[in-house]
Amino acid sequence: MSYFDGKKILVIGGSRGIGAAIVSRFSAEGARVAFTFAGSFDAAATVAEKTGAVAIQSDAADRDAVTTTVSNQGKLDVLVVNAGAFTPGDPLELDADIVDRMIDINVRAPYHAAVEAARHMDDGGRIIIIGSTNGDRMPFAGAAAYAMTKSAVQGMARGLARDFGPRQITVNVVQPGPIDTDLNPADGPMADMMHSFMAIKRHGRPDEIAGLVVYLAGPEAGFVTGSMHTIDGGFGA
């Protein structure tokens, strides 16, 4: 019998890549999982069919949609915020609306989701935000806005860890490096460049990220909070 049997878990952004791996892992552990998706209907349906998780259409860029989705779940044991946006470009030319959307999805969504989830959690709940190693290191041009959002998540998690600590609710950030997904394939045009920065010269796997998330959600991580957990093959070493 798994520790997660019957636990109620919400994954914000769970239809593809890392999010889908997290949904799959928690479902396999016996948890009651719901996940959100924005527009990937087919992918969401596939994940729901394979895992038994409940798919909920909700745009992470919409604050009201985020808070309503979290609130509608009732009492949560674990919240994972995986939804993210990344649009590279020269900051002198990148559309300001694109930058604001990255802020909405990468910063505002996890903040409001975490606060709303804490309203519905018993003592000892878990909040895990998927950040990025680029919150610590940005070794190439064109991603200043993205790096800014991922650095902001670090401060957010440290602050919320203090706020929710008296209730034993932990708040942690998982910071992946290059992970083999549809949006960042291991054989993509930037792979060789990214591998050149890394100690382990390959893309990570989504299930490797899911394994770390499950650890942080479990009983052995009850004393771990306000921390950044980098899993990047030495990208930032």
Distance CA 187, CA 176 (A): 18
- Annotation marks residue 111 as catalytic: no
For every residue of 180-198, DSSP letters joined together read -BTTB-TTSTTHHHHHHT-
C-alpha closest to that of 76 among 29, 7, 25: 7
Given the residues 3, 111, 146, 215, the one annotated as active site? 146
For every residue of 26-61, DSSP letters joined together read HHHTT-EEEEEESS-HHHHHHHHHHH-PEEEE--TT
Catalytic residues: 146
